[in-house]
Amino acid sequence: MARMNRPAPVEVCYKNMRFLITHNPTNATLSTFIEDLKKYGATTVVRVCEVTYDKTPLEKDGITVMDLKKYGATTVVRVCEVTYDKTPLEKDGITVMDWPFDDGAPPPSKIVEDWLNLLKTKFCEDPGCCVAVHCVAGLGRAPVLVALALIESGMKYEDAIQFIRQKRRGAINSKQLMYLEKYRPKQRLRFKDPHNHKNKCCIM
């Protein structure tokens, strides 16, 4: 069976926020995933897909994988199915958050609220940190969450989409695009001192 080529992780930086958009790893590719997280200084992973990996290796490396109820210093957000065990990330000090929602769809309001609350906490406590977010391919659910963060920090939706697509070609489908066009920000991610930051990364 031929290996599927996946796009490389991309870093999106704006003001005092840093994001790493990536596809989901498997247990077989978890060590490479952890290397990428460390390369960008990511301590938080947001998983917005089904669980497809064991998080134990990430936990061993200090990367924490968390459920919605937990917020740690380092977080990964998964928005897709679980494809890996998050324990290795958590052992590595990286926190993994599991917030799955339907592929190709915009995020439910509860996930948007949790996402923005997480970012407000992370970027206030550690400006310039990097949050990693991944879905299956890193083209839909994960980029939409990053776009929401950019919009909430003051960027126009068209600019946010173009900004992300410059780095992640093919990101955000038409249904998600319509959602972002209609989204009304409340400026929840406006920060006072965008230049006072450290070189850390939170993965979504």
Q: Is residue 191 part of a domain?
A: no
User: How would residue 49 be classed by pLDDT, with cut points 50, 70 and 90?
Assistant: low
Q: Residue 77 has what pLDDT?
A: 67
Residue, of 3 and 85, whose pLDDT is higher: 85
Residue whose structure tokens are 């409340």 = 186
User: How would residue 92 be classed by pLDDT, with cut points 50, 70 and 90?
Assistant: confident
Q: Is residue 125 part of a domain?
A: yes
Q: Is residue 65 part of a domain?
A: no
Q: Is residue 48 part of a domain?
A: yes
Dihedral sign (CA 198, 169, 118, 95): negative
Q: Residue 70 has what pLDDT?
A: 32
Q: Is residue 66 part of a domain?
A: no
User: How would residue 50 be classed by pLDDT, with cut points 50, 70 and 90?
Assistant: low
Mean pLDDT taken over the chain: 75
Q: Is residue 5 part of a domain?
A: no
By residue range, what is the domain housing residue 154? 10-52+81-182
CATH number at residue 165: 3.90.190.10
Q: Which of 130, 135, 201, 202 is catalytic?
A: 135
Q: How many other β-carbons are positioned within 10 Å of the β-carbon of residue 29?
A: 16
Q: Residue 129 catalytic?
A: no
Q: Is residue 202 part of a domain?
A: no
Residue, of 193 and 16, whose pLDDT is higher: 16
Q: Is 113's pLDDT higher than 80?
A: yes
Q: How many other β-carbons are positioned within 10 Å of the β-carbon of residue 64?
A: 27
180: Cβ contacts below 8 Å, ≥ 6 apart: 106, 144, 147, 148, 151, 157, 160, 161, 172
User: For 68-84, what is the mean pLDDT?
Assistant: 55
3-state secondary structure of 193: coil
Find, among 164, 132, 125, the residue nearest to 63 by Cα: 132
Quote the DSSP letter at residue 166.
H
Q: Is residue 58 part of a domain?
A: no
Structural domain count, the chain: 1
Q: Residue 135 catalytic?
A: yes
